[in-house]
Structure 1
Amino acid sequence: MSRTIFISFSLVFFTFSSLVFAQSDEEVAELIRFRMESDVPMENIEIRNTSLLTADDIIHFYNDREFKNAWSVGGILTEEAYELRFEIKQAEFDGLVPEDYHLNVIESFFSTFESNKENGIKNAPGDLADLDIFLSDAFFKLARNLEIGKVDPSQFGEDWEIARKEPTNDYPTLLEKAVATKAIRKSLESLYPKFSIYKKGREVIRELSEKVKEDTLNWKKVKISKSIHVGDSNSDIPRLRERLIYWELLEEYAVQDEKVYDSIMMDGIKDFQGTHGLDIDGVIGPQTAQAFNDSPKDRLNKARVNMERLRWLPDTVKNAEFILVNLANFQLDYLKNLDTLISERVIVGRKYHESPIFMAEMSYIVFSPYWNIPYSITHSEIIPSVRKNPNYIAAKNMEVVTSSGKVLDPSTINWNSKSFPYMVRQKPGPGNSLGLVKFMFPNKHNVYIHDTNARSLFALDDRARSHGCIRIQNPQDFAKELLSYDPYWTSEKIDEAMHQTHEKVVQLDRHIPVVLVYLTFWADSKGEAHFREDIYERDEEVLVALGK
């Protein structure tokens, strides 16, 4: 009898509890619907004087689920609500600003609910409804920022001409699935750029954030005018040694003379040079010294900027075959099926002749090329040189041609005239400024990859030396790899084609995406951070935009 009474009581209690929970959830849903309907036409939806970030997604999401609350059950927050709050805070390690996603408002609600729990007070349906909307709104905004970036790169004009990718996810659908499967974190991670260096970059930012909190060093700028070799004495050596120890590239040791650059310190210098794209020679030159001036906060900001740039990159970069040129790293990588087939030093545009950021498709190679000299260079350099030296055109193996291609005798041209309706080009040969081959990916900038006759420049750390085109160190190896599909193009045939007196144009059997990017930070597959000088001074404007 007692067992029957207990079961009956349990059923009644369960039914009553379910009814209470159902009524609680219905009330919250009704308030959510009211929030969606009660706003002034043509104005943003506001909740507690705070504008929502993603009105369209919010309306679609709640309308499709008949305004049912997503983040609480029976007046109690779900684990997924706590998980999303955590992920909003973790956005710091994506280089984003957690406060951009209603964090302060959300934290206030959570504090109230925690207090209610301690004091045995039910959470108010209006609070539950408002927090529900803020959490969903935060999810949608964070999802979009993770997938395509917070900042629209088009606002930087020619500093970044790669078209912004379009979102491939429907965020309300994504959230509906994430809530149903209890996979908030997994859903947000699915939006990360599909490069392993992105997740590795998050870990670097996490470490740098801790460094910033603990940093007590004096980051006074170090500037040297003369290279320091092992055995040399310099008053800046103690500061450089201190920074090596700080970055864990050198262990503390007994120093005989703190101003002397010793062999123990040199090992740390070489490691430092390796992660900054400098020649690993152990010599402390001006660029090595300059790289030491970045504080943890400087590095953190640089990492934030470049995580955003990674979010801008389109899916094309994930293709099985593409050519990637990182201008800030002075390096070209030719990748196929995730393998790096060629990695070459390059020379890029100097300041005021900056190489642009864009994408195009390589379609042909020109062996023994003419150099069709740009109009700007003709007027600023060639014409003034001919005025000083009438034999300049012949001496530089150049020729003057009409628009129809007729070659003219330079002595018949009035070089002092304000009008110059001709084109100057340099003939194929070892003295040609383009070298012996050029790789063409037609684009509005007339930028391409080519050989050079100024090979000594590849030994420099600072290789921003061209008028904008990309000069490659070993073009013959690059050509052989690109033409590997055709057995005709042996090393001998390529060498022969590169030493002719006339151009030889070879069409590739496919178009290969060429991506010119600008990354001053990335983390490699081992999680090691790499930093590069901001040669074009472009980081600051992205950092400012991220902070807005």
Structure 2
Amino acid sequence: MMQTKQGRTLRLVRSVIAAGGFFLVGVTGVSAESGFSFQVTAYKQAVAESLGENEAVAAFYRARAFEPLWTGAGVEDRERRIAFFEALQLADDHALPIDRYDPEGLMARMAAVSNGRERGLLEMELTKTYLQFANDLQSGLLQPGRIDGDIKRVLPRRDPADLLAQIMQGDPRAAMRKLIPNSPEYTRLMRAKMMLEHRIAHGGWGPTVPAAKLSPGQSGKAVVALRNRLTAMGYLAPHLGGSFDARMTEAVRQFQIDHNLEADGVAGASTMSAINVSPEERLKSVMVAMERERWLNLPEGLGKRHVKVNLTDFHAQIIDDNKLTYETRSVIGHQDYDRRTPEFSDVMDHMVINPSWYVPRSIIVGEYLPLLRSNPGAVSHLQIIDGRGRVVGRGQSFAGYTARTFPFSMRQPPGPRNALGSVKFMFPNKYNIYLHDTPSQHLFAREVRTYSHGCIRLDDPHDFAYALLAKQESDPVNYFDRILNSRVETRVNLEQHVPVHLIYRTAFTQAKGHMNYRRDVYGRDAKIWNALVAAGVQLRNGRT
């Protein structure tokens, strides 16, 4: 494979040099001064006409007096062309559609250039393609919000002038490498993609396992099929045994851990379903994860300390200096369309200990008002509040109110039955999403934890609070508990604000170990894959 890539690169270099032959002849081979001037004038006029409404690109070329970036006769120009076309040849490795950039067509146009105007038009076409490729590779091919309205991310696009200056200055190959997201996750996802492609090209993981359930101690053809599939996946060392022995039990258990299944070593229905997923489907998840990682390639990074909640993994994490320092299980929004947790990033600046729950308007009119119409004493654990902040008595009738005319808000005071539990963690946002405690602890024992109205419930919120407060309190446990025991609603500001990233990954990596895969609980990744295919992305074998 290495020799093939080296040979392909060598042929590419020769092709780019040959295709760019006019740039040398067209500038230095014109003997008449008037002819040379005509070439330059036609070139500059074509560039100026092609700039369009992109002010950043226009300013870049005006500052250079329209001197070429790609189509000049110098060695530096040639090196930029070669570096650019080398990078385009690797678009497939990054799960990007190479046909979108049409390197063969660009080289054909380079070879066909015969005058200054054509050269100017080609100059701008190369710049346009470079900026498109740079944006796609650096911050994402797709527009997230057009795929699913609950993906609230804005692509972290860089300034076109900076991208052009980057390729103009220094080593162009280094500039092209700088476009690649530098997160360890992206690097590992790219490696996983190539490994899956290699496995698929050599037969995949073999036949699926023809059984609904297999347990330790069993034997037979289905157990052999399970053994072979776990071996092909890398969970089991090759051997000829035909029984579900201790080795296979441990392999199944590790597979379950990597897929967020109950790790009991028994290949039950959920485990068997996950084992029989094809490598092609897993490859799609990895390629979608690469696109999602590009959406998070923020210029400022995720934050030296940040909170990350992978919705599909049902866990919330605190990350310090790229290391996991705290993790707890979470519950996310229900699969109903109006209760799903959105994806976005914001900044946590405070927590509230002993919080009140101010009921969202949608819940008031959708769930509680119908109860109040028939029984004014319903949901008695909630206070009804008028526009002046006063508690409204339950002696009146609410039967005449509609969802539009109901003038009251509702509040649940602090206490052990409070829907938010004992603490909530605030990163103020227009979606009214936050992390919080919950009295419904039984839900954390379930594999799929989609039960909230959109906010994220934490299994161990006190430990989460201790970890956050440890940066500013010498004794965070006693500090927190003292406020908690006061039973007074108290805001505690975080001296060090913490970025929060609500992400959605059905495929993610570990620094050591196997890939992890999760269920597409909201169906978002299926939508993203379809959008990638529509944009021209394909599996290596050409099947979608």
Instruction: Specify the TM-score bucket, using the shorter chain as the normaliser.
Output: 0.7 to 0.9
Query: Could you tell me how far apart the structure 1 residues matched to 2:494 and 2:387 are?
Result: 28
474, 484, 487: which one aligns with 1:498: 484
| Equivalence for 1:467 | 453
Output the amino acid matched with 1:408.
Answer: V
Query: Could you tell me how far apart the structure 2 residues matched to 1:189 and 1:247 are?
Result: 31
203, 215, 218: which one aligns with 2:203: 215
Matches within 5 A, 1:406-421: 406-414=390-398, 417-418=401-402, 420-421=406-407
| Equivalence for 1:199 | 187
Asked if 1 retains the 8 angstrom alpha-carbon contact of 2:61 and 2:67, the reply is: no
Asked if 2 retains the 8 angstrom alpha-carbon contact of 1:359 and 1:515, the reply is: yes
Output the amino acid matched with 2:67.
Answer: E
Output the amino acid matched with 1:86.
Answer: E
Asked if 1 retains the 8 angstrom alpha-carbon contact of 2:356 and 2:411, the reply is: yes
| Equivalence for 1:66 | 67
When normalised by structure 2's length, the TM-score is 0.78
Output the amino acid matched with 1:176.
Answer: M
How far off its partner does 1:174 sit?
2.2
| 1:540 lines up with 2:516 in the alignment | no
Query: Could you tell me how far apart the structure 2 residues matched to 1:270 and 1:91 are?
Result: 37
Deviates more, 1:157-166 or 1:298-307: 157-166
| 1:484 lines up with 2:475 in the alignment | no
Q: Map Cα deviations across residues 68-100 of structure 1 (whole Å, 9 max, x no partner).
A: 8658779xx967655543322222121112222
Query: Could you tell me how far apart the structure 1 residues matched to 2:435 and 2:393 are?
Result: 31
| Equivalence for 1:265 | 248
389, 398, 410: which one aligns with 1:424: 410
Deviates more, 1:480-489 or 1:398-407: 480-489
| Equivalence for 2:177 | 189
Instruction: Mark the CA change 1:203 to 1:407 in structure 2 (over 3 Å): closer, same or farther.
Output: same
| Equivalence for 1:377 | 363
Instruction: Mark the CA change 1:97 to 1:58 in structure 2 (over 3 Å): closer, same or farther.
Output: farther
Deviates more, 1:422-431 or 1:445-454: 422-431
| Equivalence for 2:493 | 507
Instruction: Mark the CA change 1:141 to 1:398 in structure 2 (over 3 Å): closer, same or farther.
Output: closer
Query: Could you tell me how far apart the structure 1 residues matched to 2:322 and 2:407 are?
Result: 48
Instruction: Mark the CA change 1:381 to 1:191 in structure 2 (over 3 Å): closer, same or farther.
Output: same
Instruction: Mark the CA change 1:223 to 1:457 in structure 2 (over 3 Å): closer, same or farther.
Output: farther
Provide the secondary structure at the position in 1 that maps to 2:166: helix
Output the amino acid matched with 1:301.
Answer: K
| 1:523 lines up with 2:509 in the alignment | yes
Which ranges of structure 1 fall in alignment gaps of 5 or more residues? Answer: 1-19, 45-52, 113-122
Provide the secondary structure at the position in 2 that maps to 1:324: strand
| 1:172 lines up with 2:164 in the alignment | yes
How far off its partner does 1:447 sit?
0.9
| 1:347 lines up with 2:348 in the alignment | no
| Equivalence for 2:387 | 403
How far off its partner does 1:109 sit?
8.3
Instruction: Mark the CA change 1:25 to 1:417 in structure 2 (over 3 Å): closer, same or farther.
Output: closer
Instruction: Mark the CA change 1:22 to 1:417 in structure 2 (over 3 Å): closer, same or farther.
Output: closer
Deviates more, 1:477-486 or 1:21-30: 21-30
| 1:337 lines up with 2:327 in the alignment | no
Asked if 2 retains the 8 angstrom alpha-carbon contact of 1:159 and 1:538, the reply is: no
Query: Could you tell me how far apart the structure 2 residues matched to 1:156 and 1:190 are?
Result: 28
259, 276, 283: which one aligns with 2:259: 276
Asked if 2 retains the 8 angstrom alpha-carbon contact of 1:222 and 1:289, the reply is: no
How far off its partner does 1:254 sit?
3.0
Provide the secondary structure at the position in 2 that maps to 1:230: coil
Output the amino acid matched with 2:134.
Answer: A
Larger Rg: 1
How far off its partner does 1:480 sit?
1.5
145, 155, 159: which one aligns with 2:146: 155
Deviates more, 1:301-310 or 1:402-411: 402-411
18, 25, 28: which one aligns with 1:26: 28
Instruction: Mark the CA change 1:442 to 1:39 in structure 2 (over 3 Å): closer, same or farther.
Output: closer
Instruction: Mark the CA change 1:452 to 1:510 in structure 2 (over 3 Å): closer, same or farther.
Output: same
Deviates more, 1:365-374 or 1:163-172: 163-172
Output the amino acid matched with 1:275.
Answer: D
How far off its partner does 1:488 sit?
7.2
Query: Could you tell me how far apart the structure 2 residues matched to 1:87 and 1:271 are?
Result: 38
How far off its partner does 1:452 sit?
0.8
When normalised by structure 1's length, the TM-score is 0.77
| Equivalence for 1:294 | 277
Provide the secondary structure at the position in 1 that maps to 2:363: helix
How far off its partner does 1:58 sit?
12
| Equivalence for 2:350 | 364
Provide the secondary structure at the position in 2 that maps to 1:166: coil
How far off its partner does 1:281 sit?
2.9
| 1:146 lines up with 2:137 in the alignment | yes
| Equivalence for 1:98 | 98
Asked if 2 retains the 8 angstrom alpha-carbon contact of 1:358 and 1:515, the reply is: yes
Query: Could you tell me how far apart the structure 2 residues matched to 1:393 and 1:136 are?
Result: 63
| Equivalence for 1:12 | none
Provide the secondary structure at the position in 1 that maps to 2:526: helix
Asked if 2 retains the 8 angstrom alpha-carbon contact of 1:54 and 1:140, the reply is: no
Query: Could you tell me how far apart the structure 2 residues matched to 1:434 and 1:320 are?
Result: 28
Instruction: Mark the CA change 1:212 to 1:85 in structure 2 (over 3 Å): closer, same or farther.
Output: farther
Asked if 2 retains the 8 angstrom alpha-carbon contact of 1:200 and 1:527, the reply is: no
Output the amino acid matched with 1:428.
Answer: P
Provide the secondary structure at the position in 2 that maps to 1:250: coil
How far off its partner does 1:39 sit?
9.2
Asked if 2 retains the 8 angstrom alpha-carbon contact of 1:439 and 1:450, the reply is: yes
Deviates more, 1:291-300 or 1:495-504: 495-504
Query: Could you tell me how far apart the structure 2 residues matched to 1:388 and 1:233 are?
Result: 61
Query: Could you tell me how far apart the structure 2 residues matched to 1:58 and 1:197 are?
Result: 36
Equivalent residue pairs, number: 499
| 1:323 lines up with 2:307 in the alignment | yes
Asked if 2 retains the 8 angstrom alpha-carbon contact of 1:230 and 1:266, the reply is: yes
Instruction: Mark the CA change 1:326 to 1:401 in structure 2 (over 3 Å): closer, same or farther.
Output: same
Instruction: Mark the CA change 1:35 to 1:64 in structure 2 (over 3 Å): closer, same or farther.
Output: closer
Output the amino acid matched with 2:164.
Answer: P
| Equivalence for 1:13 | none
| Equivalence for 1:8 | none
Asked if 1 retains the 8 angstrom alpha-carbon contact of 2:93 and 2:194, the reply is: yes
| Equivalence for 2:19 | none
Query: Could you tell me how far apart the structure 2 residues matched to 1:158 and 1:464 are?
Result: 18
Output the amino acid matched with 2:275.
Answer: F
Query: Could you tell me how far apart the structure 2 residues matched to 1:201 and 1:522 are?
Result: 7
Instruction: Mark the CA change 1:524 to 1:136 in structure 2 (over 3 Å): closer, same or farther.
Output: farther
Query: Could you tell me how far apart the structure 2 residues matched to 1:202 and 1:33 are?
Result: 45
| Equivalence for 1:50 | none
Query: Could you tell me how far apart the structure 1 residues matched to 2:46 and 2:376 are?
Result: 81
Asked if 2 retains the 8 angstrom alpha-carbon contact of 1:159 and 1:357, the reply is: yes
Query: Could you tell me how far apart the structure 2 residues matched to 1:286 and 1:545 are?
Result: 31
Deviates more, 1:196-205 or 1:130-139: 130-139
How far off its partner does 1:167 sit?
0.4
RMSD: 4.1
Asked if 2 retains the 8 angstrom alpha-carbon contact of 1:451 and 1:475, the reply is: yes
How far off its partner does 1:468 sit?
0.4
